[in-house]
Amino acid sequence: MAERRLQRVCVFCGSQAGTRPAYVQAAEALGELLAASGIGIVYGGGRVGLMGALAESALAVGGEVVGVIPRGLLEREVGHPRLTQLEVVDSMHQRKARMAELADGFIALPGGFGTLEELLEALTWCQLGIQAKPCGLLNVEGYFDGLKLQLERGVEDGLLRPLHASLLLIDTDVERLLERLETMPLPALRRWLAPAQT
């Protein structure tokens, strides 16, 4: 049997739970699905908000959960005390680099500035050929509809190449999104892109 493509998935999500129950339900469903599929989770290390819901659901069914949290946020985001592993780093830059190093792919759930910034940086690294890892977005109750429109506008206005826009898989179903991430063909992108690449 071939080794599965995704051994660990990095999940970006909010340190707040949000006002819609569907956000927490999606975080719990993703945590359970990844754990049941034998896929480890890498995330921001918090025990509150959607981050906490994700971690708790995976841990409850015996999943591997690795947290990476900056020292300065350890108290603010309330570091989770029962993770498989919690790494404390010195900065946000180190956090993002370490999470990317540990993971084979990325999934974003609803969240704020940090979630958006982490997802877009992961995509940028793929666009520039720094890494070749699938990126997915779980669009719960239309939360990311605006981002989807923004990407479409970028392509329409010639500021984002269709090839690069296709690096982000967007889905509303957690099981389907994971299956698509597992089978997504990744384009061969050079470290620096020549004008001929579309």
| 71 part of a folded domain | yes
Q: In this predicted structure, what is the pLDDT of residue 77?
A: 62
Q: In this predicted structure, what is the pLDDT of residue 87?
A: 95
Same domain (yes/no): 3, 81 = yes
| 188 part of a folded domain | no
Structural domains of the chain, count: 2
Question: Is 100 within 8 Å of 131 (Cβ atoms)?
Answer: yes
Q: In this predicted structure, what is the pLDDT of residue 195?
A: 53
Residue 11 vs residues 35, 63, 154, 160: alpha-carbon distances, Å: 13, 14, 25, 24
Could you state, in chain order, the average pLDDT of each consecutive group of 10 residues for the chain (198 residues)?
A: 75 96 98 97 95 97 96 80 94 95 97 96 93 96 97 97 94 97 81 50
Q: Provide the domain limits for residue 34.
A: 1-89
Which regions of the chain does DSSP assign to beta strands (E)?
8-12, 40-43, 65-70, 85-89, 105-108, 135-138, 168-171
Q: Give the DSSP letter of residue 78.
A: T
Same domain (yes/no): 2, 75 = yes
Give the CATH number for residue 10: 3.40.50.450
